[in-house]
Amino acid sequence: MNKPKMTTEKGVPSNSRVLMLLGQLERLNREAMLADAEIGRQITAKILHLIQTQEKTRKEIMSKGSSGMEVILATLENTQDLQTILNILYILNELLTVGGGRRVGVFVSKGGTGILLQLVLSGSKESPPSEELMLQLHSLLAKVGPKDRKFGVKARLNGALNVTVNLLKQNLQNHKLLLPCLQVLRVYSSNSVNAVSLGKNGVLELMFKIIGPYSKKNTSLLKVSLDTLGALLKSKTNARRAVDRAHVPVLLYIYQDWHRNDTRHRHMLIRKGVLGCLKNITNIKLGRKAFIDADGMRILYNTSTECLPVRTLDPLINTSSLIMRKCFPKNRLPLPTIKSVFHHQLPHVPAGGPVAQLYNQPLGVDDVVDESDDNDDVETENDTENEEEDKDHHAMNDDIETDINKLRPKETHSRPFEELKIYERFFLELSEDFQRFNFDNPKSGVTATAAAPKSQRLIIVPTAQALPPKYPTAAPLQEECHLAKGVQPHPEASPLAPAPTPAPVHTLDTINITKDHDGCCDHSQVRPQPGLEQELVQGMERVALEGTGPQGGAGGGGGVNRHYRQPPLLAGGVAARQGGGAEETLAEEWAEEEGGEGAVLEVPDTALLLPLHDPDLYVEMVKSTRSVPQYSEVAYPDYFGHVAPTFREHILERVYGVQSPLPPYRTKIFQDIERLIHPNDILDKVVYDLDIQSCPVIDDGESLKFNSQFESGNLRKAIQVRKFEYDLVLNSDINSNHYHQWFYFEVSGMRVGAPYRFNIINCEKSNSQFNYGMQVLMYSVQEAISGRPRWVRTGTDICYYKNHFSRSSIAAGGQKGKSYYTMTFSMTFNHKDDVCYFAYHYPYTYSTLKMHLQKLEALRTPQIYMRQDVLCETLGGNSCPLLTITAMPESTSNDQICQFRNRPLVFLSARVHPGETNASWVMKGTLEFLMGSSPLAHSLREAYIFKIVPMLNPDGVVNGNHRCSLSGEDLNRQWQSPSPELHPTIYHTKSLLQYLAAIQRAPLVFCDYHGHSRKKNVFMYGCSLKETVWQTNISATSCELHEDLGYRTLPKILSQTAPAFSMASCSFVVERSKEATARVVVWREIGVQRSYTMESTLCGCDQGKYKGLQIGTRELEEMGAQFCVALLRLKRLTSPLELRNHAHLLDVESDLIETRCKVTSSSPSTYVLEDEEHSFMEEVDYSAESGDEPDIDPDTADPHDNRLSESNNHRDSLT
């Protein structure tokens, strides 16, 4: 070692005594006079005394610029005198005990670790080795080791590793020396190679000699021993060795003993150390088997249950939960195959991809579970959470497009104009001269394609179960007058009728309907607002009240009472009782129970509240809707409609131990573990099974009855596991083996007040807003006929967590060891003989769309140009509607016709993903606003020509899919090269846009409406060259990054006008995985700068006016209307002279939005977003668009504040 030269820090007095002593020690080193041991002892003893008595002495030695540490280490390395060595070790112990990690870091940087390890080796050669020397050396090494990254390697190469092990074996009863040796051994074991070597040398057996049952003595020693053992057991080799030597039952016995005797919970760390050892052993398959064989599940379950009342013992409960969750045997999903129950033959099978694999799968292959599905490597599931977080972040950053050529619009069109000319017929408005148009005829000029031929099949409305004997049955079938199955009103819910009837048979065609103020929207409560918002409210009110069209269900005249016309069969399978005597007796009994008040049931008239809904018209639409299962029933909510509740539905607070950050949702895990511990309590009774298509409902009279055989329904199987608990299995998308998320099913036969629990056990996404306050939706038929026809948020103890059902590699994209997720909720029913429907989100069927479009046509005024075309026919034989909406010209003058033809186009689409029903509700709000009679709507129609495809995936919607069409593919990933046979709606929609680009009429705005399952608020994804480049390391010149910031204008307007919209959640980054989506393809290939995906939350909002509230159909429809208002403002900003005559409608806070939209740090483009929720075990993947996932189990999203701040500052400077 080089001889250091003593220096002093500036400001330290040169006559400091410790510096003088260090100078003397330095001279001894330089002159090699340490042969005189006594001088070295005296100097080091004096330095030690000063350090022990004066704090400033320590600071002088360790101060920056002082070479005191180098002098001390040089002396330690060169001296041979034991006492001098001990003195220096005492000095180092004093110096490194205080001062934190900085002093230890200085020591390591000066080479102190190697000197200590060399002393251990040389000291071990003495016979016997000095106990005090070994004690001090190991005490120092225990402090230094954790700060030296190469400590384990140095010890192994130096030979000190074996010295410590031998010292440990020889001093098992010498607790004073044993403790520091164990502390050093714990640090050694953090190196995997060292851990294996130590295991071979018998250290595991040594540890089990030290640890033992409950004792008040040597608890510190026991704690360090358990930590050392836990570090050793991280090695799979050592874990197998522990299993082979039957150490798992020993650890369980020790844990039980400490749990039993540590009644005052003073030694929680020891109990946690034992659990840590078990956790590491159970990372291997043999360890999990040994744990199960040793009755570990029952032991940890019982001890954890006893710990639940004590909040301070949460660490023990959580670790126990992790172990039990990991060791829970993987179960097979109770299905014969994960393929959909329904099959639709494709015109041809794609050459590659998941659909091709599905079709080419050999017969007899078990696709539900892999042959060996118990993966040894489960550490990444629970124990390397930070690594998963880093991997997830890197994966997101790697997804950003870095090829600038792909970020620039294409300059050439991919299809010749001759091919596109056939789409001219969808743009008659661009060549219309209106010479034959009669401006005095209100309905002239409206063209539409012929409707599809109506099916004559029998439609059953609504789907419900047979009545109990207590109530009268329906009338005979030939009268087509049937009661909804299982539905009877409560006596108190039936208002007084003028006169009783002798035979009170309640059917929907005999119901007298009255308006109920509790269940309707009270427009009188809307507070008048100035300017734009007031105009919007008034405009929407006018739309809501304009229901008097030619259709019978539109308005019902001026009164509030309405008598229904006879609908089709109301209850399938309800056999009419024959024999007048019994029926009359039963009717008389029922009339007596009702107090002789009569049999006319009054329910609200929703005609004024739902001007676009007509039950009879809906049934007519259903008749022409084609489904793969050939549904013949109609769900009651779709038939009768939904009136948004007037009360607020708050986002639920997270429940401690259920949705709280405690991994892993221990309450639900414990309930699942009870199934394994008490198998005799499980009924395991199938009560509904679509795989038995001849008789899916298995009714024994004691269980709930389920049904999903109606449009958009999805429930494949229901299994009763306990008296009031049911496991539910969802159906895959047709021609697919996954995408389980959307559900919509019916339940009946419930008991009032019973605590039912429903577990949907085959969800796939790694997280859900169900963990952050979202509730399921329920529609009660009893509530509906009592005057409250509405979907309401409901359910308690809601939780979404990884379960023990194995997901095969076929369904998981080749990944083994994956599991499904459970969405569980509890429910108590309030009405006897009710029929209830549960849904993932507010249902909006294809037949509902057709009904709404027909009603909208009835609302058309002479000033509105509206045309409905059939864009194409889907694979399932359903038509895809295309709407054109604009304002009629005031006359046939050349100026008026020219202005009409040259209006900019806005192209809107929605519902490419069937499970995102909120997109349809937003589209409904847009369509209603566009067809309204308000001045705002009129100005908007005069400003633009709207081309709208309101439902891009009718087949998926009809058949209850979550994401795919009948082709088994995500249509929003087919925009680059859509197939006219497999993806007709995408192919023809893209062709429309290509035609517009070819004639130089590309839309000003393109927006595709979506829903997002893992974020709150409404927000947009756009496309920006600059903002994509800023998120990467691409070097580009300013000319290459030239871009107009106009793409930010529309989202900025929405953030100021739409209360549910969040600019902070918007992103304008282009990712590789999204290059085939509508947003990116329209931006790049069609050249539309303002190309967006507008995402609406399935949950609720965490900002603005609706903060803390779950979103409903009213807010979604309002968002659709506010989008229209934003387009009107956009028109003002892009061409200010165009709307001079209507400027008074737009002057709401003149400084709200500047003409030149500046990018500020208050509205950043956030590719990697701030966490919206508190972190928990499987955290939300906020980068996913429309709920896309790779199914990584992320832990917490990294905010990357610094990166975003730098990006925003850079953006501001360039702007």
How many CB atoms sit inside 10 A of residue 829's CB?
21
What DSSP assignment string belongs to 764-817? -SS--GGGGT--EEEEEHHHHHTT---EEEE-EEEEEEEEEEEE-TTTTTT-SS
Burial, 583: exposed, middle or buried (Cβ in 10 Å; 0-12, 13-18, 19+)? Answer: middle
With helix as H, strand as E and coil as C, how does 327-351 read? HCCCECCCCCCCCCCCCCCCCCCCC
Closest among 1170, 1169, 1201, 1171 to 1185, alpha carbons compared: 1169
Distance CA 65, CA 870 (A): 83
Distance CA 525, CA 1169 (A): 37
With a CB cutoff of 8 Å and minimum separation 6, the contacts of 221 are 175, 178, 179, 182, 210
Q: Are strands 1090-1097 and 1005-1012 parallel, antiparallel or unpaired?
A: parallel
Tokens linked to 14: 């040169």
Distance CA 1003, CA 114 (A): 72
What DSSP assignment string belongs to 1089-1141? SEEEEEEEESSBBSSGGGBTBB--HHHHHHHHHHHHHHHHHHHHHH-TTTTGG
**Do 703 and 749 contact (CB within 8 A), yes or no?**
yes
Distance CA 839, CA 848 (A): 16
What DSSP assignment string belongs to 418-439? HHHGGGGGG-GGGT---TT--T
Q: Fill in the DSSP letter of residue 312.
A: G
Active site residues: 1095
Tokens linked to 702: 């004691």
Distance CA 213, CA 224 (A): 15
Give the phi and the psi of residue 316 in degrees, each rounded to 5: -70, -40
CA 767 and chain centroid, separation:
4
**Do 1130 and 1053 contact (CB within 8 A), yes or no?**
yes
Q: Are strands 791-794 and 776-780 parallel, antiparallel or unpaired?
A: antiparallel
**Do 483 and 474 contact (CB within 8 A), yes or no?**
yes
Q: Are strands 725-729 and 717-722 parallel, antiparallel or unpaired?
A: antiparallel
Q: Which residue has the tokens 């050694």?
A: 188
With helix as H, strand as E and coil as C, how does 266-288 read? CCHHHHHHHHHHHHHHCCCHHHH
99: part of which helix (H) or strand (E)?
none
Beta pairing partners, 728: 718, 760
- In three-state secondary structure terms, 1078 is helix
With helix as H, strand as E and coil as C, how does 492-524 read? HHCCCCCCCCCCCCCCHHHCEECCCHHHCCCHH
Distance CA 320, CA 1197 (A): 26
Closest among 380, 959, 966 to 716, alpha carbons compared: 959
Type of residue at 533 = E
Beta pairing partners, 870: 881
Distance CA 1002, CA 560 (A): 47
Closest among 334, 338, 341, 333 to 358, alpha carbons compared: 338
